[in-house]
Structure 1
């Protein structure tokens, strides 16, 4: 007996509809089980008949699959609507971006660039700022030099002491083949 292609539309005969439902339900449940086994997929299938009867299939636990679906839907919904946290982050980003631009322009001016836009008061402010910065740099340089001088003085003292000690050892233990000179 050959199968013939049927037209997909609602079956009017109630008995034929029930028989078709039963056969196709079994087929779809079998396909779901095969898909789960072959592809290691987590599947939950819920079917309500026209009379309201429930038929279900789950490859693992129906509850876990449904919970996973609900969580996934909630996350997807949150991504679709802009959250207040995202809006706050966007506002913070704008503020930080503006601050970055201001600081970049300030740095350029400290480097002597883009000065033509400044008026006399702003130039005087910049000059005072540069004097303060130069003073700090000079102070740090002087402190570094003093530290280095102190370190070198200590090292010089240690070398003098080592040199004195070596001279004493040489006097006490003259080399073989040399006469001891007491005048040294």
Structure 2
């Protein structure tokens, strides 16, 4: 009875995860050694555990030389992606390079469109917030102007009333004067405001005129 197919997902149990890492690492190193011996290949294996511990394997302890060769290969690949040093590539390699560049260009365009859309959404939100703040500020300014206008009208009305009162003081009744006659006092009817009957005037004759009349 054979083993079932292993489902590739993270092992949640910490102890089981550590045991599996130890077993698989040992098996990976064994496979690397077999490839280097059977195929006469330069093999370098670098593994870091979850705790940051380094495990490495290289053919005949030639790790430094293998790393240098890898750096040279990476530099050449970078030039190829830039369109340089393409003479050494075969038709299959050129086709593979073209496919990789097209896939990369597609991802770049997708990311660019998403970035532009995010910027447009941000600008639209800023414009909306600005319009809302402007409308609120405009309403507050209108209320302030209305209150100032009402206060100015009340102040102007009071000023006009005060100026009118000072320019036209209340007229007082001046008693009528009659030459040679005594002052007339208002009767009870005049004080109450009802019309009074005509009364005979008691004219006083000056002494100097009385002496002439007696002659």
For Structure 1 versus Structure 2, the TM-score category normalised by the shorter chain is 0.3 to 0.5
* TM-score (normalizing by structure 1): 0.46
Between structure 1 and structure 2, the one with the greater Rg is 2
* TM-score (normalizing by structure 2): 0.39
Structure ranking higher on relative contact order (CA contacts 8 Å, 6+ apart): 1
